[in-house]
């Protein structure tokens, strides 16, 4: 590479970074606040049953005005996931949700079903095409831009394919209904499905609960064995979780993904707790900022990977399909591989605002100076803090035991009824 081409690459990367949007999941009020506090540019969430995480959705249609207002006040965009397939008897409900989203000031809806896409556009509501549409080529992009300003590309594309689509969008001046160039979105981190862009039928076949209706039982995440029906012999497979990919992680190739022409980086995890959202958002925010400031180093990368490993994960597939990495990156267990374990040890009964001190009764485990605790609540979000000093029944102490009333100073404001968790390395619990 010549010096001139290096400068040009740097300019293109800096210019692209200034336009990158970090999109973060919000499956609960606590996760919503955690996302905003950790540096999200936008959040996506579902309400009711017509979204792909219907089993874990904490929000209802009545929450839409509050969600949209919180996001506007924070300068964060809000996207309603309305991305399941829709049946005839649900058309009225779907239209009502679109109307409610528009009235509340939600920024856009994420949709797959053409009925949702067409209705949302008919009332002037911005549309993002869901990854479920499996957009993998320019003809699909040209089809969907009739209704959508943003298109989420299939997770199985390579960077070369993504770059080709992005270049064609620029060269052909492909615009959405707003008249602006269509934006391309890509999943950057989180769970991957064994099926093409999540269009799976295993759960439907086994339990009559459809993944495409937000009701997946995740049967692919389990261990299986193959049995010869004639002899009864069983084949033991080296890796039992042959349908459960590791989680996608793109920290090591963010620069090349951005240079390919992506506008939005999306973190998966609407079923995850607030501390997952807070930590993963913070890490990707820091990584993007480091690229922009030219302070990205191997040491920071190693630290970020260690941080990401603390919360729920099935191991990491670095770069995924995008970076042409090898296949066969399968999870080693159906359980989380998080290096950190969290256990609830109490509920805040009082918070002294002037002192920034929380009080709670210890219901599980001992607690000592030097431990790390997590405070989680619908208004607080997720706050991690180290116990630098604690009091038991008002007296200074080095440790506390079950049933003790504990007070400790926090690094941020908390509220009554917030949950308190003890965070410890997984190995220490064995």
Q: Per residue in 198-257, pLDDT tens?
A: 666 566 566 666 656 656 656 666 676 777 778 877 766 666 666 777 899 999 999 999
Per-residue confidence band for 47, with pLDDT thresholds at 50, 70 and 90? very high
**Separation of alpha carbons 429 and 418, rounded Å:** 24
**Separation of alpha carbons 414 and 418, rounded Å:** 7
SS3 label, residue 180? coil
Better-predicted residue by pLDDT, 428 or 258: 258
| 340-352 vs 247-249, strand pairing mode | unpaired
Residue carrying structure tokens 């970074």 = 17
Residue 426: per-residue pLDDT: 80
Residue 120: per-residue pLDDT: 98
CATH code 3.20.20.70 region(s) in the chain: 3-192+245-318
**Separation of alpha carbons 144 and 177, rounded Å:** 10
Q: Report, as an integer, the average pLDDT of 156-165.
A: 94
Q: In this model, does residue 2 exceed pLDDT 60?
A: no
Per-residue confidence band for 338, with pLDDT thresholds at 50, 70 and 90? confident
Q: Which pair of tokens denotes residue 24?
A: 């973060």
218 in the Ramachandran plot: left (φ > 0), alpha (ψ -120 to 50) or beta? left
Q: Report, as an integer, the average pLDDT of 275-304.
A: 95
Residue 307: per-residue pLDDT: 96
Write down the mean pLDDT value for the chain.
88
How many CB atoms within 10 Å of residue 263? 18
Residues 6+ away with beta carbon under 8 Å from 263: 19, 20, 21, 150, 183, 184, 185
Better-predicted residue by pLDDT, 78 or 219: 78
Q: Report, as an integer, the average pLDDT of 367-389.
A: 94
Better-predicted residue by pLDDT, 201 or 135: 135
Length of the chain: 430
CATH number at 3-192+245-318: 3.20.20.70
Per-residue confidence band for 192, with pLDDT thresholds at 50, 70 and 90? confident
Instruction: Give the DSSP H or E segment for 288.
Output: helix 274-293
The CATH H-level superfamily of 340-429 is Translation factors (2.40.30.10)
Q: Report, as an integer, the average pLDDT of 409-414.
A: 90
Closest CA to 41 of 164, 144, 183: 183
Q: With 0-12 CB in 10 A as exposed, 13-18 as middle and 19+ as buried, what is 158? A: middle
How many CB atoms within 10 Å of residue 137? 16
What pTM did the predictor assign? 0.85
Phi and psi torsions of 168, nearest 5°: -65, -40
Q: Report, as an integer, the average pLDDT of 296-317.
A: 94
Q: In this model, does residue 336 exceed pLDDT 70?
A: yes
Angle at 141 between CA 138 and CA 147, to 5 degrees: 160
CATH code 2.40.30.10 region(s) in the chain: 340-429
């Amino acid at each position: 590479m010549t010096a001139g081409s290096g400068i040009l690459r740097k300019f293109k990367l800096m210019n692209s970074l200034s336009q990158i949007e970090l999109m973060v999941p919000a499956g609960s009020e606590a996760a919503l606040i955690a996302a905003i506090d950790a540096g999200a540019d936008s959040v996506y969430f579902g309400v009711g049953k017509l979204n792909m995480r219907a089993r874990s959705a904490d929000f209802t249609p009545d929450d839409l005005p509050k969600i949209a207002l919180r996001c506007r006040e924070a300068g964060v965009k809000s996207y309603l996931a309305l991305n399941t397939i829709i049946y005839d008897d649900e058309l009225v409900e779907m239209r009502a949700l679109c109307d409610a989203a528009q009235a509340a000031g939600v920024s856009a809806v994420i949709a797959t079903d053409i009925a949702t896409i067409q209705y949302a556009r008919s009332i002037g509501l911005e549309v993002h095409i869901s990854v479920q549409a499996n957009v993998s080529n320019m003809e699909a992009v040209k089809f969907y831009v009739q209704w959508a300003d943003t298109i989420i590309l299939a997770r199985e594309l390579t960077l070369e394919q993504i770059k080709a689509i992005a270049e064609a969008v620029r060269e052909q001046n492909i615009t959405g209904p707003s008249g602006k160039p269509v934006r391309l979105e890509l999943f950057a981190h989180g769970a991957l499905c064994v099926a093409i862009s999540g269009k799976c039928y295993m759960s439907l076949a086994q339990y009559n609960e459809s993944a495409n209706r937000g009701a997946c039982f995740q049967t692919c995440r389990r261990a299986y064995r193959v049995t010869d029906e004639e002899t009864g012999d069983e084949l033991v497979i080296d890796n039992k979780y042959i349908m459960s990919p590791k989680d996608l992680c793109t920290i090591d190739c963010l620069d090349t993904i951005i240079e390919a022409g992506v506008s939005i980086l999306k973190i998966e995890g609407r079923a995850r707790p607030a501390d997952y959202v807070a930590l993963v958002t913070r890490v990707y925010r820091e990584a993007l900022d480091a690229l922009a400031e030219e302070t990205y180093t191997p040491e920071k990368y190693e630290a970020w990977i260690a941080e990401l490993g603390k919360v729920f994960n099935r191991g990491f597939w670095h770069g995924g399909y995008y970076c042409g990495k090898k296949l066969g990156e399968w999870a080693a267990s159906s359980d989380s591989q998080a290096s950190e374990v969290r256990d609830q040890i109490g509920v805040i009964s009082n918070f002294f605002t002037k002192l920034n001190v929380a009080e709670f009764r210890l219901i599980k485990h001992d607690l000592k100076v030097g431990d790390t605790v997590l405070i989680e609540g619908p208004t607080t979000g997720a706050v991690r803090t180290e116990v630098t000093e604690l009091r038991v029944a008002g007296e200074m102490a080095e440790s506390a035991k079950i049933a003790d009333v504990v007070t400790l100073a926090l690094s941020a404001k908390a509220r009554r009824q917030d949950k308190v968790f003890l965070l410890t390395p997984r190995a220490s619990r064995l």
